[in-house]
Amino acid sequence: MPVDTMVNILELAGLYVFATSGALMAIHKRFDVVGIVVLALLTALGGGVLRDLVIGDTPPAAFTNVNYLVIPMVAAVVTFFAHPLVGRLAFPVLVFDAAGLGLFCVTGTLKALDFGLGSLQAVLLGVTTAVGGGVLRDITARETPALVQMDTDLYSIPAAAGAAVVVAAHHTDLPMPVVATCAALFVFMFRIVAMVRHWTAPHAWEPKGRTG
């Protein structure tokens, strides 16, 4: 499978799952149908639009490929009617967000590499693609973004790890479609385990015995 085809497939899947997480949060916040669609679109498209603007791929794909708009809207409609089947909404939001995190960190990294960016820059842009939509979703829903919450379960670190795997594989002869799929699954599982076990990033070091 050509890398471009694989990226498109993963990105479309990421659009759907991220849009679903945005729609679920909107329902959880008791937004109306307009708010549900808006939050789904922001979550699905925010990181990709920022990525495309950074690398100079303009207009961003979200405005040149109608599928990038249709898929999040379909996800919003499906979620609008199907959400009563979901028991508690908080954890499903995080599960879909974890899936989008894995898919988008891979596609963002691959696109950055395709545009000739260096390894470190590609990792950073992969993370930006992965977390950008979630940050916009949380801000719009009047939540502190998970990216910067104190003692939040690991969020950007799994994305950075997955992006690093893709960059490392880019310099080898490993089949990229297999590596990309495995990297997306790795990020998803890393994020889920971090949520279940409440793994957090370290805080700034302080000398022992220091009192506030």
**pLDDT (0 to 100) of residue 21:** 86
- pLDDT < 50 stretches in the chain: 87
pTM for the complete prediction? 0.82
H/E/C letters for each residue in 143-209?
CCCCCCCCCCECCHHHHHHHHHHHHHHHCCCCCHHHHHHHHHHHHHHHHHHHHHHCCECCCCCCCCC
Distance (Å) of CA 57 to CA 62, 79, 94, 114? 11, 31, 30, 11
Q: What is the pLDDT of residues 145-155, one digit of tens each?
A: 877 776 778 88
**pLDDT (0 to 100) of residue 70:** 94
**pLDDT (0 to 100) of residue 3:** 59
Distance (Å) of CA 76 to CA 27, 118, 200? 10, 36, 31
**pLDDT (0 to 100) of residue 11:** 79
**pLDDT (0 to 100) of residue 173:** 81
**pLDDT (0 to 100) of residue 76:** 93
